[in-house]
């Protein structure tokens, strides 16, 4: 699903954010990305989402080489990926319901079906009762969960999550991981960037460790 | 996928329960496929109302810009219809020497009828001219008290052609007739009016072109500002896979609304101007023709003004939104 080969990213100011990244995530696989602040975790996700362009190497997502992706194709590429953003990226003037509806609205989903899916997604993250509330009136953790609901509502084949549990207590974090595992079990590929080493340890998935943009000891899948 | 369905089922049951709880307060969220456009249009309208002052400014600027060429075109349409009416009755009046008797005058008139460039020739004696004039002017008493008739006898000619050069040639020939004192070519002022009408038409077209170009910039700038204001929202929509067309839609509606409202205000202003000018306009028109009706400001002209506004608004928004939306990147 995601194939990364000799990938590197240098920002315009000469900052090397990623150097020689190689890994692969197959269908129904989940991996974590860890590393210090500024290690390049968000950059990696941004490259997969075609928010940034690689400086070198290849990135193949859903069989598409992102180096060959045209401007027009980018939205359709992003629709196949559900993303939880580090800074939530919610629309402040839309309700929780409307925020989660957005990906379905964009792709012109049948309305009744869309509503059902939005409620199912909100229920997964325990926010069904807050559907009519605006994001500003939610706690950081609740906003994060709205972001998670929005990422999964489209039933994407890939889920990217950037610090999805950053604002959550251990219980909620475990809940969110369970939701992710459910998706993994139905064939979704997941890449989760996280600082939360204690959580990662309890889960025993493959961990890609970044240090100043370089991969160090890719731990691999220890057990399942 | 089976698992998903199961989870969905589970969720649906909870949803039903939640729905029952807040049925009364439950509205909104009802986006049917056909209602999406209506929803976006309403949304755009709401945004216009949210910043009433700047919206009003934009609308008034559009209205005034559209009004100027519209007034010129309207004026010209009236000129054209006056011209049309008179061109059918372009006349040459031959005023005869005072020494010419009535029978001589009648003979001049009859002779002219044999000329095939002349359609009709009517002899009007001095007495008849005075009669008609006292009737039409209402100065009968005054005129009757005069000792002698100040008006000359005349032959009124309708040329068989409307071609200016032919009419001019004819009038030159007529001037050489010995009984004729002087001639008056009624088509002279028609020619002047026609030239004026052409000028107004050209000025109107130029003005319309300038105004429409200006409106593209004004609407483009308005759209640019509202895109700037909604930058964050656009970024989010782009992040979850919204196409430029999807993002542009509300802005296109905004442009369309501005155009329609601007056009409507222009129609309204035009109406006010016409009402204010009504008295003097009627007087002016009466001088030229008794059965003249003001045209160029009716329903279809008003409608086309609104439609022009709508087109310019939409196109201006179209050009601007794609340009600026392209520049907003997450
Ligand atoms: N748009 C940008 N322009 C220039 N440099 C950037 C840009 N975005 C990130 N960087 C730099 O690239 C490096 C990697 O940043 P990145 O955001 O990927 O880190 P991260 O691992 O996600 O950190 P954190 O855990 O704090 O979120 C950092 O040194 C950062 O300063
Ligand atoms: Mg980050």
Is pLDDT of B115 > 70? yes
Q: What is the distance between the alpha carbons of residues A61 and A157, in angstroms, rounded to a whole number? A: 10
Token look-up 């002219």 returns B112
Looking at the structure, tell me whether residues A13 and A109 fall in a common domain.
Answer: no
Kindly determine whether residue A91 and residue B1, on different chains, have CB atoms separated by under 8 Å.
Answer: no
pLDDT at site B84 = 73
- Please give the distance, rounded to the nearest whole angstrom, from the Cα atom of residue A167 to the centre of ligand 2: 14
Looking at the structure, tell me whether residues A114 and A4 fall in a common domain.
Answer: no
Query: Which of A215-219, B40-44, B273-277, B290-294 has the least mean pLDDT?
Result: B290-294
Tell me the CATH number at A176.
Answer: 3.40.50.300
- Please give the distance, rounded to the nearest whole angstrom, from the Cα atom of residue A222 to the centre of ligand 1: 29
Looking at the structure, tell me whether residues A125 and A222 fall in a common domain.
Answer: no
- Please give the distance, rounded to the nearest whole angstrom, from the Cα atom of residue A40 to the centre of ligand 1: 6
pLDDT at site B1 = 44
Is pLDDT of B127 > 50? yes
Asked if residue A95 is part of any domain, the answer here is yes
- Domain range for A47 is 1-80+156-224
Asked if residue A161 is part of any domain, the answer here is yes
Query: Which of A104-118, B21-35, B55-69, B219-233 has the least mean pLDDT?
Result: B21-35
Looking at the structure, tell me whether residues A142 and A161 fall in a common domain.
Answer: no
Whole-number percent of chain B with pLDDT over 90: 32
Q: Name which of A97, A106, A107 is nearest B29 (Cβ-Cβ).
A: A97
Looking at the structure, tell me whether residues A151 and A47 fall in a common domain.
Answer: no
pLDDT at site A219 = 54
Is pLDDT of A177 > 80? yes
Looking at the structure, tell me whether residues A10 and A75 fall in a common domain.
Answer: yes
Q: How many Å lie between the alpha carbon of A210 and the closest alpha carbon of chain B?
A: 24
Dihedral, CA of residue B210, residue B215, residue B217 and residue B221, to nearest 10: 160
* pLDDT tens digits, B184-237: 877 677 777 788 888 988 999 999 999 999 999 999 999 999 999 999 999 999
Q: Name which of B11, B36, B243 is nearest A119 (Cβ-Cβ).
A: B11
Which of A17, A51, A52 is the pocket-test mutation for ligand 1 (most atoms within 8 Å of CB)?
Answer: A17
Kindly determine whether residue A79 and residue B11, on different chains, have CB atoms separated by under 8 Å.
Answer: no
Q: What is the distance between the alpha carbons of residues A14 and A16, in angstroms, rounded to a whole number? A: 6
pLDDT at site A115 = 93
Query: Which of A99-103, B4-8, B235-239, B244-248 has the least mean pLDDT?
Result: B4-8
Looking at the structure, tell me whether residues A67 and A136 fall in a common domain.
Answer: no
Kindly determine whether residue A102 and residue B240, on different chains, have CB atoms separated by under 8 Å.
Answer: yes
Looking at the structure, tell me whether residues A105 and A48 fall in a common domain.
Answer: no
Kindly determine whether residue A105 and residue B31, on different chains, have CB atoms separated by under 8 Å.
Answer: yes
**Where does the pLDDT of residue B80 fall: very low under 50, low under 70, confident under 90, or very high at 90 and above?**
confident
CA-closest residue to ligand 1 atom 5: A11
Q: Which of A108, A140, A155 is the last residue in one of the domains?
A: A155
Q: Which domains does chain B have, with CATH numbers?
A: 2-23+31-85+193-326 (no CATH), 91-186 (3.30.70.3040)
Asked if residue A85 is part of any domain, the answer here is no
Q: How many Å lie between the alpha carbon of A192 and the closest alpha carbon of chain B?
A: 17
Compute the mean pLDDT over every residue in chain B, rounded to the nearest whole number: 81
Looking at the structure, tell me whether residues A108 and A36 fall in a common domain.
Answer: no
Smallest Cα–Cα separation from B267: which of B216, B319, B303, B313?
B303
Kindly determine whether residue B3 and residue A185, on different chains, have CB atoms separated by under 8 Å.
Answer: yes
More confident residue, A84 or B143: A84
Asked if residue A32 is part of any domain, the answer here is yes
Asked if residue A56 is part of any domain, the answer here is yes
Q: Which of A155, A183, A200 is the last residue in one of the domains?
A: A155
Give how far Cα B158 sits from Cα of A137, B104, B194, Å.
86, 20, 19
Q: Which two tokens stand for residue A59?
A: 């990135």
- Parallel/antiparallel/unpaired status of strands A2-10 and A56-61: antiparallel
Q: How many Å lie between the alpha carbon of A214 and the closest alpha carbon of chain B?
A: 25
pLDDT at site B2 = 46
CA-closest residue to ligand 1 atom 11: A17
∠ CA B251-B253-B257, nearest 5°, is 120
Looking at the structure, tell me whether residues A178 and A201 fall in a common domain.
Answer: yes
**Where does the pLDDT of residue A162 fall: very low under 50, low under 70, confident under 90, or very high at 90 and above?**
very high
A14 Cβ below 6 A of ligand 1: no
Burial class from Cβ neighbours inside 10 Å (0-12, 13-18, 19+) for residue B160 reads middle
Mean pLDDT of B278-291: 67
Q: At what angle do helices B52-87 and B299-327 cross, to 10 degrees?
A: 140
Looking at the structure, tell me whether residues A41 and A125 fall in a common domain.
Answer: no
**Where does the pLDDT of residue B130 fall: very low under 50, low under 70, confident under 90, or very high at 90 and above?**
confident
Q: Which of A125, A155, A185 is the last residue in one of the domains?
A: A155
Mean pLDDT of B22-49: 63
pLDDT at site A176 = 86
Count of domains observed in chain A: 2
More confident residue, B26 or B188: B188
* pLDDT tens digits, A42-65: 999 999 999 999 999 999 999 899
Asked if residue A104 is part of any domain, the answer here is yes
Looking at the structure, tell me whether residues A171 and A65 fall in a common domain.
Answer: yes
């Amino acid at each position: 699903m995601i194939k990364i080969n000799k990938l590197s990213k240098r920002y315009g100011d000469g900052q090397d954010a990623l150097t020689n990244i190689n890994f692969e995530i197959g269908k129904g696989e989940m991996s974590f990305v860890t590393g210090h602040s500024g290690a390049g975790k968000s950059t990696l996700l941004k490259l997969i989402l075609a928010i940034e362009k690689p400086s070198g190497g290849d990135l193949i997502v859903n069989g598409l080489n992102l180096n060959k992706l045209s401007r027009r194709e980018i939205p359709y590429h992003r629709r196949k990926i559900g993303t939880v953003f580090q800074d939530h990226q919610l629309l402040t003037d839309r309700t929780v319901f409307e925020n989660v509806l957005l990906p379905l609205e964009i792709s012109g989903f049948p309305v009744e079906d869309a509503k059902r899916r939005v409620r199912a997604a909100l229920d997964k993250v325990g926010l069904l009762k807050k559907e009519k509330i605006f994001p500003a009136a939610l706690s950081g953790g609740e906003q994060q969960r709205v972001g998670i609901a929005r990422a999964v509502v489209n039933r994407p084949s890939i889920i990217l999550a950037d610090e999805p549990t950053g604002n959550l207590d251990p219980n909620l974090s475990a809940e969110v991981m369970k939701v992710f595992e459910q998706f993994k079990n139905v064939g979704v590929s997941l890449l989760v960037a996280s600082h939360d080493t204690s959580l990662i340890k309890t889960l025993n998935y493959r961990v890609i460790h970044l240090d100043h943009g370089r991969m160090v000891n890719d731990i691999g899948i220890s057990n399942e | 996928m089976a698992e998903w369905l199961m989870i969905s089922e589970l969720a649906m049951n909870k949803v039903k329960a939640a729905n029952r709880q807040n049925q009364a307060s439950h509205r909104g969220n009802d986006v049917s496929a056909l209602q999406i456009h209506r929803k976006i249009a309403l949304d755009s309208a709401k945004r216009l109302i949210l910043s009433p002052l700047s919206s009003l400014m934009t609308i008034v600027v559009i209205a005034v810009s559209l009004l100027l060429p519209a007034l010129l075109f309207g004026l010209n349409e009236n000129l054209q219809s006056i011209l049309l009416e008179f061109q059918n009755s372009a006349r040459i009046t031959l005023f005869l020497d005072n020494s010419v008797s009535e029978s001589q005058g009648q003979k001049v008139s009859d002779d002219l009828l044999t000329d095939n460039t002349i359609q009709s020739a009517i002899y009007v004696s001095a007495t008849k001219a005075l009669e008609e004039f006292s009737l039409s002017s209402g100065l009968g008493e005054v005129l009757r008290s005069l000792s002698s008739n100040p008006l000359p006898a005349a032959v009124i000619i309708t040329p068989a052609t409307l071609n200016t050069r032919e009419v001019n040639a004819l009038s030159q020939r007529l001037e050489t007739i010995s009984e004729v004192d002087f001639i008056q070519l009624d088509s002279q002022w028609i020619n002047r009016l026609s030239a004026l009408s052409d000028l107004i038409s050209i000025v109107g077209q130029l003005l319309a072109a300038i105004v429409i170009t200006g409106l593209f910039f004004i609407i483009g700038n308005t759209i640019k500002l509202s895109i700037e204001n909604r930058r964050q929202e656009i970024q989010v929509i782009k992040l979850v896979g919204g196409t430029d067309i999807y993002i542009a839609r509300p802005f296109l509606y905004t442009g369309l609304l501005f155009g329609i409202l601007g056009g409507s205000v222009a129609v309204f202003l035009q109406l006010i101007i016409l009402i204010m000018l009504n008295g003097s306009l009627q007087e002016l028109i009466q001088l030229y023709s008794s059965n003249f009706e003001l045209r160029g400001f009716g329903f279809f002209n008003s409608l086309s003004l609104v439609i022009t506004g709508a087109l310019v608004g939409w196109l201006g928004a179209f050009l601007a939104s794609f340009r600026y939306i392209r520049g907003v990147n997450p």
